[in-house]
Structure 1
Amino acid sequence: MTAYAIAHLRNHPGPHPDVIAYIERIQDTLDPYSGRFLVHGGAKEVLEGQWPGDVVMIEFPGMDEARAWYDSEAYQEILPLRTDHIDGDVLLVEGVGPGYHPKRKIDRLRRAADA
C-alpha cells in the first residue's frame, strides 16, 4: 500500500548553501526507492489553526520503501545539510487503498468503544 514521507519544515533562514546542496541531491536518494515528490513547499492556504513553515510530501510504493529510503546511507549522508539549518517534523504514514471509505474507520472505532 502506498506510503508517504511528510515533513513540516519551519524556521528556515532562506537559501543556505547546505540546503541548496540537499535539494540538489535528494532526488538521487529517492530514485532507488521509487520516491517522488507530491508537494514541495508550494503555495498553501491555512483554513484552520496555524501552519508556520512549508510542507513536503513524498510518495513511495509502500512503507518498506519509505523506511529503506530514510535509513539509506545516501539519504543519511545528506540529511544534516537540512537538519542543521531547518527545524522540522518528519513522519512516514501509510496511505489508504483504492475504494477506501471512512465507514471502515467508523466501524473500528465503534467496536473499540463497545469493548
Structure 2
Amino acid sequence: MTAYAIAHIRPETMNEDVLRYIEEIQATFGPFGGRFLVHGQEVEVLEGSWPGTVVVVGFPAVERARAWYASPAYQALVPLRADHMAGDIILVGGVPADYDATETAATLRAAAGL
C-alpha cells in the first residue's frame, strides 16, 4: 500500500548546504521507488497556521519509505537540511482505493459505545 514521507519545513535562510540538499535528495529516492508528489508549492492555509512549506514524497510501501529514510545516501544529506531548517518529518501509510470512512466511523462509534 502506498506510503508517504511528509515534511513540514520552516526554512530560515538559504545557503549552500540547503541548496546542495535540494539538488541531491531526488537521487536518493530511486532505489526505493519514491517520487516527489508535492515540492516547492505555495501553501494555502484554510484553518490554523502553517509557517513554512510542505513536502510530500510517495513510496510504494511504508517499508520502502523507512528504508529510504535510513539509507546511507539520505542520511548523508540530513545534516545539510537539519542544521539550517527546523522541521517535522513523518511517515504514514495510505488507505486502499476502496477505503470507506463511514466504516471507520462505525468502528469508532461502537468502540466508544455511542
TM bucket by the smaller chain? over 0.9
2:9 match? 9
1:92 match? 91
* 2:2 aligned partner, one-letter code: T
* 1:64 aligned partner, one-letter code: E
Gaps of 5+ in 2: none
1:59 match? 58
User: Is 1:110 matched up with 2:109?
Assistant: yes
Whole-angstrom CA distance in 2 between matches of 1:104 and 1:32: 36
1:28 match? 27
Gaps of 5+ in 1: none
Give per-residue Cα distances to partners, 1:25-81, cap 9 Å, x unaligned.
111111100100011130121110100000000000000000000000110011100
* 1:2 aligned partner, one-letter code: T
Whole-angstrom CA distance in 2 between matches of 1:49 and 1:18: 31
Whole-angstrom CA distance in 2 between matches of 1:100 and 1:41: 29
Secondary structure class of the residue paired with 1:68: helix
> Under a length normalisation based on structure 1, what TM-score does the superposition of the two structures give?
0.94
* TM-align CA RMSD: 1.3
Question: Which of structure 1's runs of 4+ aligned residues deviate more than 2 A?
Answer: none
Secondary structure class of the residue paired with 1:89: strand
